[in-house]
Protein backbone atom coordinates (compact mmCIF):
# COMPACT_ATOMS: atom_id res chain seq x y z
CA UNK A 1 0.00 0.00 0.00
CA UNK A 2 1.28 3.47 -0.85
CA UNK A 3 1.65 6.08 1.87
CA UNK A 4 1.69 9.83 1.55
CA UNK A 5 1.94 12.31 4.37
CA UNK A 6 0.93 15.92 3.85
CA UNK A 7 1.48 18.78 6.25
CA UNK A 8 -0.42 22.01 5.86
CA UNK A 9 -0.92 25.12 7.95
CA UNK A 10 -4.67 25.19 7.35
CA UNK A 11 -6.22 21.73 7.16
CA UNK A 12 -9.99 21.86 7.41
CA UNK A 13 -10.76 18.78 9.50
CA UNK A 14 -13.18 18.26 12.38
CA UNK A 15 -11.70 20.97 14.61
CA UNK A 16 -11.77 23.67 11.94
CA UNK A 17 -8.89 25.01 9.86
CA UNK A 18 -5.61 24.47 11.74
CA UNK A 19 -2.11 23.12 11.19
CA UNK A 20 -2.24 19.38 10.74
CA UNK A 21 -0.61 16.33 9.25
CA UNK A 22 -2.71 14.09 7.04
CA UNK A 23 -1.48 10.57 6.44
CA UNK A 24 -2.89 8.79 3.41
CA UNK A 25 -2.77 5.00 3.28
CA UNK A 26 -3.67 3.76 -0.18
CA UNK A 27 -6.95 5.37 -1.14
CA UNK A 28 -8.03 6.26 2.41
CA UNK A 29 -7.12 8.85 4.99
CA UNK A 30 -5.21 6.96 7.68
CA UNK A 31 -4.90 9.69 10.28
CA UNK A 32 -5.25 13.42 10.86
CA UNK A 33 -2.97 14.84 13.54
CA UNK A 34 -3.11 18.42 14.74
CA UNK A 35 0.31 20.09 14.87
CA UNK A 36 1.72 23.04 16.79
CA UNK A 37 3.76 24.06 13.78
CA UNK A 38 4.46 22.77 10.31
CA UNK A 39 8.27 22.77 10.37
CA UNK A 40 10.84 20.05 11.00
CA UNK A 41 9.45 17.00 9.25
CA UNK A 42 11.27 14.14 7.61
CA UNK A 43 11.98 13.86 3.89
CA UNK A 44 8.97 11.56 3.36
CA UNK A 45 6.59 14.31 4.43
CA UNK A 46 5.32 16.86 1.94
CA UNK A 47 4.87 20.31 3.44
CA UNK A 48 2.32 22.31 1.42
CA UNK A 49 3.17 25.90 0.44
CA UNK A 50 2.41 28.65 2.99
CA UNK A 51 -1.14 29.95 2.73
CA UNK A 52 -2.49 26.64 1.42
CA UNK A 53 -5.89 25.50 2.65
CA UNK A 54 -6.66 21.78 2.52
CA UNK A 55 -10.37 20.97 2.28
CA UNK A 56 -12.35 17.81 1.58
CA UNK A 57 -13.11 17.11 -2.07
CA UNK A 58 -16.32 18.80 -3.20
CA UNK A 59 -19.49 16.83 -3.87
CA UNK A 60 -21.84 18.20 -6.51
CA UNK A 61 -25.26 16.54 -6.49
CA UNK A 62 -26.66 18.68 -9.33
CA UNK A 63 -24.62 19.07 -12.51
CA UNK A 64 -25.40 18.61 -16.22
CA UNK A 65 -22.14 19.30 -17.98
CA UNK A 66 -18.96 21.32 -18.26
CA UNK A 67 -15.92 21.99 -20.38
CA UNK A 68 -18.04 21.87 -23.53
CA UNK A 69 -19.43 18.43 -22.65
CA UNK A 70 -23.15 17.77 -22.13
CA UNK A 71 -23.63 14.78 -19.82
CA UNK A 72 -26.76 13.79 -21.72
CA UNK A 73 -25.04 13.67 -25.12
CA UNK A 74 -23.04 10.44 -24.98
CA UNK A 75 -21.15 8.20 -22.54
CA UNK A 76 -17.86 9.89 -23.52
CA UNK A 77 -19.35 13.33 -23.04
CA UNK A 78 -20.69 12.36 -19.62
CA UNK A 79 -17.27 11.11 -18.58
CA UNK A 80 -15.51 14.21 -19.96
CA UNK A 81 -17.85 16.53 -18.03
CA UNK A 82 -17.10 14.61 -14.82
CA UNK A 83 -13.37 15.04 -15.53
CA UNK A 84 -13.81 18.77 -16.17
CA UNK A 85 -15.43 19.29 -12.76
CA UNK A 86 -12.83 17.05 -11.11
CA UNK A 87 -10.19 19.64 -11.99
CA UNK A 88 -12.31 22.21 -10.10
CA UNK A 89 -12.29 20.09 -6.97
CA UNK A 90 -15.44 17.97 -7.41
CA UNK A 91 -14.29 14.50 -6.42
CA UNK A 92 -17.70 12.90 -6.07
CA UNK A 93 -21.33 13.54 -6.88
CA UNK A 94 -24.19 12.75 -9.15
CA UNK A 95 -24.87 13.02 -12.86
CA UNK A 96 -28.02 15.11 -13.37
CA UNK A 97 -30.30 14.39 -16.30
CA UNK A 98 -32.75 16.98 -17.57
CA UNK A 99 -36.23 16.08 -18.78
CA UNK A 100 -36.25 13.97 -21.93
CA UNK A 101 -38.34 11.11 -23.34
CA UNK A 102 -38.30 8.19 -20.89
CA UNK A 103 -36.49 5.86 -23.33
CA UNK A 104 -33.74 8.44 -23.72
CA UNK A 105 -33.46 8.92 -19.95
CA UNK A 106 -33.18 5.14 -19.55
CA UNK A 107 -30.23 5.13 -21.95
CA UNK A 108 -28.54 8.02 -20.14
CA UNK A 109 -29.14 6.32 -16.78
CA UNK A 110 -27.32 3.29 -18.15
CA UNK A 111 -24.28 5.46 -18.96
CA UNK A 112 -24.41 6.96 -15.45
CA UNK A 113 -24.60 3.44 -13.99
CA UNK A 114 -21.45 2.53 -15.95
CA UNK A 115 -19.62 5.53 -14.46
CA UNK A 116 -20.91 4.67 -10.98
CA UNK A 117 -19.76 1.06 -11.32
CA UNK A 118 -16.33 2.34 -12.42
CA UNK A 119 -16.23 4.36 -9.18
CA UNK A 120 -16.24 7.72 -10.98
CA UNK A 121 -19.57 9.11 -9.72
CA UNK A 122 -21.95 8.22 -6.92
CA UNK A 123 -25.01 7.78 -9.12
CA UNK A 124 -27.62 9.67 -11.07
CA UNK A 125 -30.10 12.45 -10.36
CA UNK A 126 -33.25 12.56 -12.47
CA UNK A 127 -34.38 16.17 -12.82
CA UNK A 128 -37.67 15.25 -14.43
CA UNK A 129 -39.78 14.30 -16.20
CA UNK A 130 -42.43 14.60 -13.42
CA UNK A 131 -42.20 18.38 -13.11
CA UNK A 132 -44.52 21.38 -13.37
CA UNK A 133 -45.20 23.04 -16.72
CA UNK A 134 -45.65 26.30 -14.83
CA UNK A 135 -42.18 26.14 -13.24
CA UNK A 136 -40.31 24.10 -15.82
CA UNK A 137 -37.50 26.65 -16.28
CA UNK A 138 -35.20 25.10 -18.88
CA UNK A 139 -36.77 21.63 -18.66
CA UNK A 140 -38.17 20.87 -22.11
CA UNK A 141 -41.98 21.14 -21.67
CA UNK A 142 -42.56 18.78 -24.61
CA UNK A 143 -41.25 15.86 -22.54
CA UNK A 144 -42.75 16.61 -19.10
CA UNK A 145 -45.01 13.83 -17.82
CA UNK A 146 -47.49 13.35 -15.05
CA UNK A 147 -46.16 11.10 -12.29
CA UNK A 148 -46.20 7.56 -13.58
CA UNK A 149 -45.08 4.67 -11.43
CA UNK A 150 -44.42 2.40 -14.45
CA UNK A 151 -42.18 4.99 -16.08
CA UNK A 152 -40.39 5.44 -12.75
CA UNK A 153 -39.84 1.68 -12.45
CA UNK A 154 -38.38 1.52 -15.95
CA UNK A 155 -35.95 4.33 -15.20
CA UNK A 156 -35.10 2.87 -11.80
CA UNK A 157 -34.26 -0.48 -13.43
CA UNK A 158 -32.23 1.20 -16.18
CA UNK A 159 -30.05 2.83 -13.51
CA UNK A 160 -29.14 -0.62 -12.10
CA UNK A 161 -29.28 0.55 -8.48
CA UNK A 162 -27.54 3.87 -9.13
CA UNK A 163 -30.54 6.19 -9.22
CA UNK A 164 -29.78 8.27 -6.12
CA UNK A 165 -32.17 11.18 -6.41
CA UNK A 166 -35.25 12.30 -8.33
CA UNK A 167 -36.78 15.77 -8.42
CA UNK A 168 -40.60 15.72 -8.35
CA UNK A 169 -43.27 18.45 -8.37
CA UNK A 170 -45.50 17.26 -5.51
CA UNK A 171 -48.68 19.05 -6.61
CA UNK A 172 -49.07 16.93 -9.75
CA UNK A 173 -51.72 14.20 -9.69
CA UNK A 174 -50.12 10.95 -8.58
CA UNK A 175 -47.01 12.65 -7.22
CA UNK A 176 -47.38 11.57 -3.60
CA UNK A 177 -47.63 7.82 -4.30
CA UNK A 178 -44.57 8.25 -6.54
CA UNK A 179 -42.71 9.97 -3.68
CA UNK A 180 -43.51 6.97 -1.49
CA UNK A 181 -42.46 4.51 -4.19
CA UNK A 182 -39.13 6.28 -4.74
CA UNK A 183 -38.39 6.60 -1.02
CA UNK A 184 -39.23 2.91 -0.50
CA UNK A 185 -36.79 2.07 -3.32
CA UNK A 186 -34.03 4.02 -1.52
CA UNK A 187 -34.08 6.98 -3.89
CA UNK A 188 -33.77 10.46 -2.36
CA UNK A 189 -36.75 12.59 -3.34
CA UNK A 190 -36.18 16.26 -4.00
CA UNK A 191 -38.99 18.80 -4.30
CA UNK A 192 -38.44 21.08 -7.28
CA UNK A 193 -39.62 22.66 -10.52
CA UNK A 194 -42.87 23.00 -8.64
CA UNK A 195 -45.86 25.30 -8.35
CA UNK A 196 -46.91 23.63 -5.09
CA UNK A 197 -48.58 25.49 -2.27
CA UNK A 198 -46.98 25.28 1.15
CA UNK A 199 -49.37 22.47 2.07
CA UNK A 200 -48.75 20.49 -1.12
CA UNK A 201 -44.99 20.71 -0.68
CA UNK A 202 -45.27 19.83 3.01
CA UNK A 203 -47.17 16.66 2.02
CA UNK A 204 -44.16 15.48 -0.01
CA UNK A 205 -41.85 16.00 2.96
CA UNK A 206 -44.26 14.13 5.24
CA UNK A 207 -44.01 11.21 2.78
CA UNK A 208 -40.24 11.16 2.87
CA UNK A 209 -38.84 13.83 0.54
CA UNK A 210 -35.67 15.31 2.08
CA UNK A 211 -34.13 17.71 -0.45
CA UNK A 212 -35.21 20.95 -2.15
CA UNK A 213 -33.91 21.27 -5.71
CA UNK A 214 -32.24 24.69 -6.18
CA UNK A 215 -34.30 26.47 -3.53
CA UNK A 216 -36.16 29.51 -4.93
CA UNK A 217 -35.29 28.71 -8.56
CA UNK A 218 -37.95 26.82 -10.51
CA UNK A 219 -40.52 27.14 -7.73
CA UNK A 220 -43.48 29.27 -6.81
CA UNK A 221 -42.10 32.37 -5.06
CA UNK A 222 -42.75 33.21 -1.43
CA UNK A 223 -45.92 35.16 -0.74
CA UNK A 224 -46.86 36.13 2.79
CA UNK A 225 -50.24 34.38 2.56
CA UNK A 226 -49.00 31.46 0.40
CA UNK A 227 -45.36 30.86 1.27
CA UNK A 228 -45.14 27.93 -1.14
CA UNK A 229 -42.44 25.29 -1.41
CA UNK A 230 -39.63 27.56 -0.21
CA UNK A 231 -40.87 27.92 3.36
CA UNK A 232 -42.28 24.38 3.33
CA UNK A 233 -38.76 23.13 2.51
CA UNK A 234 -37.12 25.25 5.21
CA UNK A 235 -39.74 24.25 7.79
CA UNK A 236 -39.40 20.56 6.92
CA UNK A 237 -35.66 20.72 7.58
CA UNK A 238 -34.89 19.77 3.98
CA UNK A 239 -31.36 19.94 2.64
CA UNK A 240 -31.58 22.93 0.35
CA UNK A 241 -29.63 23.12 -2.88
CA UNK A 242 -28.50 26.64 -3.71
CA UNK A 243 -26.86 27.77 -6.96
CA UNK A 244 -24.47 30.37 -5.60
CA UNK A 245 -23.29 31.98 -8.82
CA UNK A 246 -24.34 35.55 -8.06
CA UNK A 247 -27.13 35.22 -10.65
CA UNK A 248 -29.63 32.65 -9.36
CA UNK A 249 -30.01 33.89 -5.78
CA UNK A 250 -29.07 36.81 -3.52
CA UNK A 251 -26.46 36.01 -0.85
CA UNK A 252 -29.13 36.60 1.80
CA UNK A 253 -30.63 33.28 0.68
CA UNK A 254 -27.51 31.44 1.85
CA UNK A 255 -27.67 33.17 5.20
CA UNK A 256 -31.36 32.32 5.56
CA UNK A 257 -30.79 28.63 4.86
CA UNK A 258 -27.84 28.55 7.26
CA UNK A 259 -29.94 30.24 9.92
CA UNK A 260 -32.21 27.17 9.78
CA UNK A 261 -29.24 24.90 10.49
CA UNK A 262 -25.58 24.80 9.46
CA UNK A 263 -26.08 21.38 7.88
CA UNK A 264 -29.03 22.45 5.68
CA UNK A 265 -27.15 24.31 2.96
CA UNK A 266 -26.01 22.32 -0.09
CA UNK A 267 -24.05 24.19 -2.73
CA UNK A 268 -24.63 22.84 -6.23
CA UNK A 269 -23.50 24.07 -9.63
CA UNK A 270 -26.40 23.03 -11.93
CA UNK A 271 -23.63 23.58 -14.48
CA UNK A 272 -24.24 23.03 -18.20
CA UNK A 273 -21.79 22.20 -20.98
CA UNK A 274 -20.93 25.89 -21.50
CA UNK A 275 -19.19 25.95 -18.11
CA UNK A 276 -15.53 26.79 -18.55
CA UNK A 277 -15.98 27.42 -22.26
CA UNK A 278 -17.38 30.93 -22.50
CA UNK A 279 -20.27 32.94 -23.85
CA UNK A 280 -22.10 31.67 -26.93
CA UNK A 281 -24.90 29.39 -28.10
CA UNK A 282 -25.47 25.97 -26.58
CA UNK A 283 -28.22 23.38 -26.24
CA UNK A 284 -29.85 21.89 -23.15
CA UNK A 285 -32.41 19.09 -23.37
CA UNK A 286 -33.18 20.01 -26.98
CA UNK A 287 -33.61 23.73 -26.31
CA UNK A 288 -31.36 26.56 -27.44
CA UNK A 289 -29.44 28.29 -24.64
CA UNK A 290 -27.52 31.55 -24.94
CA UNK A 291 -24.71 32.26 -22.48
CA UNK A 292 -23.91 35.92 -21.96
CA UNK A 293 -21.63 37.21 -19.18
CA UNK A 294 -21.73 33.70 -17.72
CA UNK A 295 -25.54 33.65 -17.41
CA UNK A 296 -27.23 30.84 -19.38
CA UNK A 297 -30.75 31.63 -20.59
CA UNK A 298 -33.41 30.36 -22.96
CA UNK A 299 -34.83 32.80 -25.54
CA UNK A 300 -37.70 33.31 -23.07
CA UNK A 301 -35.19 34.77 -20.59
CA UNK A 302 -35.56 31.81 -18.22
CA UNK A 303 -32.29 30.78 -16.57
CA UNK A 304 -31.00 27.50 -18.00
CA UNK A 305 -28.58 26.06 -15.49
CA UNK A 306 -25.35 27.84 -14.72
CA UNK A 307 -21.70 28.11 -15.67
CA UNK A 308 -20.60 27.60 -12.09
CA UNK A 309 -17.97 25.28 -10.66
CA UNK A 310 -17.89 24.13 -7.04
CA UNK A 311 -14.65 25.98 -6.23
CA UNK A 312 -16.19 29.24 -7.44
CA UNK A 313 -19.38 28.57 -5.45
CA UNK A 314 -17.27 28.20 -2.30
CA UNK A 315 -15.15 31.30 -3.04
CA UNK A 316 -18.27 33.35 -3.63
CA UNK A 317 -19.90 32.13 -0.42
CA UNK A 318 -16.82 33.14 1.57
CA UNK A 319 -16.73 36.52 -0.18
CA UNK A 320 -20.40 36.92 0.77
CA UNK A 321 -19.44 36.53 4.42
CA UNK A 322 -20.12 32.82 5.03
CA UNK A 323 -17.41 31.35 7.30
CA UNK A 324 -15.00 29.09 5.37
CA UNK A 325 -15.92 26.07 7.49
CA UNK A 326 -19.62 26.46 6.68
CA UNK A 327 -19.01 27.12 3.00
CA UNK A 328 -16.86 24.00 2.69
CA UNK A 329 -19.36 21.90 4.66
CA UNK A 330 -22.04 23.07 2.22
CA UNK A 331 -19.87 21.84 -0.66
CA UNK A 332 -18.80 18.52 0.85
CA UNK A 333 -20.28 17.16 4.07
CA UNK A 334 -23.84 18.42 3.55
CA UNK A 335 -24.28 17.15 -0.02
CA UNK A 336 -22.82 13.78 1.04
CA UNK A 337 -25.41 13.58 3.79
CA UNK A 338 -28.18 14.78 1.47
CA UNK A 339 -27.80 11.79 -0.84
CA UNK A 340 -26.52 9.30 1.74
CA UNK A 341 -22.88 8.98 0.69
CA UNK A 342 -20.63 7.44 3.33
CA UNK A 343 -16.88 7.83 3.57
CA UNK A 344 -16.63 11.06 1.59
CA UNK A 345 -17.11 14.75 2.37
CA UNK A 346 -14.73 15.08 5.32
CA UNK A 347 -11.04 14.96 6.13
CA UNK A 348 -11.27 12.21 8.71
CA UNK A 349 -9.62 8.84 9.37
CA UNK A 350 -11.24 6.12 7.28
CA UNK A 351 -12.69 8.52 4.71
CA UNK A 352 -11.66 8.22 1.07
CA UNK A 353 -8.61 10.40 0.46
CA UNK A 354 -10.40 13.08 -1.57
CA UNK A 355 -8.70 16.41 -0.93
CA UNK A 356 -8.53 19.80 -2.56
CA UNK A 357 -5.57 22.07 -1.95
CA UNK A 358 -6.55 25.73 -2.30
CA UNK A 359 -4.25 28.74 -2.31
CA UNK A 360 -4.78 31.68 0.04
CA UNK A 361 -7.34 33.13 -2.42
CA UNK A 362 -9.19 29.76 -2.34
CA UNK A 363 -8.26 28.88 -5.90
CA UNK A 364 -7.71 25.19 -6.62
CA UNK A 365 -4.04 24.27 -6.90
CA UNK A 366 -4.22 20.48 -6.58
CA UNK A 367 -6.88 17.80 -6.35
CA UNK A 368 -6.47 14.34 -4.85
CA UNK A 369 -9.06 11.61 -5.40
CA UNK A 370 -8.79 8.22 -3.75
CA UNK A 371 -5.21 8.97 -2.70
CA UNK A 372 -4.08 9.91 -6.23
CA UNK A 373 -3.22 13.41 -7.35
CA UNK A 374 -5.13 14.34 -10.47
CA UNK A 375 -2.87 15.66 -13.19
ZN1 LIG B 1 -30.59 21.20 -13.21
What is the Å distance from ligand 1's center to 266 Cα?
A: 14
Within the chain, all domains assigned CATH 2.30.40.10 are found at 3-55+348-373
| 3-class SS letters over 285-351 | CCEEEEEECCEEECCCCCECCECCCHHHHHHHHHHCCCCHHHHHHHHCHHHHHHCCCCCCCCCCCCC
Asked if omega into 304 is within 30° of 0 (cis), the reply is no
Centroid of ligand 1 to alpha carbon of 58 (angstroms)? 18
pTM: 0.96
Residues 369, 363: Cα–Cα separation, whole Å: 17
Q: Which of 45-49, 241-245, 284-288, 354-358 has the lowest mean pLDDT?
A: 284-288
Is 341 one of the annotated binding-site residues? no
pLDDT band at 40 (very low <50, low <70, confident <90, very high): low
In this structure, CATH architecture of domain 3-55+348-373: Roll (2.30)
Architecture of domain 58-338: Alpha-Beta Barrel (3.20)
Instruction: Tell how far the Cα of 96 is from the centroid of ligand 1, in angstroms.
Output: 7
Q: Is 40 annotated as a binding residue?
A: no
Rounded to the nearest whole angstrom, what is the distance from the C-alpha of residue 222 to the centroid of ligand 1?
A: 21
Tell whether residue 214 is among the known ligand binding residues. Answer: yes
Q: Determine if residue 296 is labeled as part of a ligand binding site.
A: no
Ligand 1 centroid, distance to 216 Cα (angstroms): 13
Distance, CA of 302 to CA of 324 (rounded, Å): 31
Is 218 marked as binding a ligand? Answer: yes
Q: Is 138 a known ligand-binding residue? A: yes
pLDDT tens-digit map of 278-326? 899 998 888 899 999 989 999 989 999 999 999 999 999 999 999 999 9
233 DSSP 8-state letter: H
Span from the CA of 374 to the centroid of ligand 1 (angstroms): 27
Instruction: Write the DSSP assignment of 140-160 as a string of letters.
Output: -GGG-----HHHHHHHHHHTT
Mapped onto helix, strand or coil, the DSSP state of residue 260 is coil
Domain with CATH 3.20.20.140 in the chain: 58-338
Average pLDDT over residues 33-50: 82
Distance 8 CA to ligand 1 centre (A): 36
123-152 residue pLDDT tens: 999 999 999 999 998 889 999 999 999 999
Average pLDDT over residues 183-195: 98
Residues assigned a catalytic role: 270
Amino acid sequence: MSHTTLVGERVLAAEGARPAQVRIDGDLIGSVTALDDVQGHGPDVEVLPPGSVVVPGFIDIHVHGGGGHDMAASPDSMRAAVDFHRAHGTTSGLVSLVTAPVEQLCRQLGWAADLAEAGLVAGAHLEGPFLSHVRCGAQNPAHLKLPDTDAFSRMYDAARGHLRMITIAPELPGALPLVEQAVAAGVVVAVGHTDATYTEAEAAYVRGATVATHLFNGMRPVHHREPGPVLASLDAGARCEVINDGIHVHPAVLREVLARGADRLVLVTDAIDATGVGDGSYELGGQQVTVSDGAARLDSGSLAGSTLTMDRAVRRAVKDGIPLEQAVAAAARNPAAAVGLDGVGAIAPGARADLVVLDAQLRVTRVMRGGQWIS
